[in-house]
Amino acid sequence: MKTFDVTAGMPAPAPGFAVRSWFIDGVSPQAPRPFVQGLPASPQEFLAQLPPSGFSCWVRGTAGLVGIGRALRLRAAGPDRFDALSAAWQEIAAAAEVDNEVGLPGSGLIGFAALAFSAHSATASVIDIPRFVMGRRDGRVWLTAVTTPGDPEEAGGLALSHTPLAPPRAPRTRPGHVTPEDYVEIVARAVERLRAEAGTGAGAEAGADGAPGTPAGAGASTGGGTSAGAGPAAGEPLGKVVLARDEVVETDEEIDVRAVLGRLNSAYPTCWTFDVAGLVGATPELLIGVTDGQVTSRVLAGTYQVQGDPAEEIAAARAQLGSAKDSSEHAFAIDSLAASLSTVSEDLHVDAEPHLLQLATVIHLASDAHGTLRRGENGCPTALEVARAVHPTAAVGGFPKDRALEVIEELEGADRGRFAGPVGWVDERGNGQFGIALRCGQLEAPNRIRLFAGAGIMPDSDPASELAETEAKLAPMKRALGVEH
Which residues belong to the active site?
A: 240, 285
Nearest-angstrom CA–CA distance, 235 and 228: 19
For residues 285-302, one letter each, b for 16 or more C-beta atoms within 10 angstroms of the residue's C-beta and e for the rest, the string is bbbbbbbeeebebbbbbb
Q: What is the CA radius of gyration of the chain?
A: 22
Partnered with residue 283 across adjacent β-strands are 272
359: Cβ–Cβ under 8 A, 6 or more apart, which residues? 268, 271, 284, 306, 310
Amino acid at 460: D
Residues 186, 191, 192, 197: is their CA dihedral positive or negative? Answer: positive
**In this structure, are residues 446 and 278 in contact, taking their beta carbons and an 8 Å threshold?**
no
> What single string gives the DSSP state of each residue in 178-202?
S-HHHHHHHHHHHHHHHHHHHTSSS
Residues 469, 473, 478, 479: is their CA dihedral positive or negative? Answer: positive
Partnered with residue 74 across adjacent β-strands are 4, 127
Give long-range contacts, CB 8 A cutoff, 24+ apart: 185-188: 185/463, 186/243, 186/411, 186/412, 187/243, 187/455, 187/457, 187/461, 187/463, 187/466, 187/467, 188/463
Nearest-angstrom CA–CA distance, 118 and 410: 13
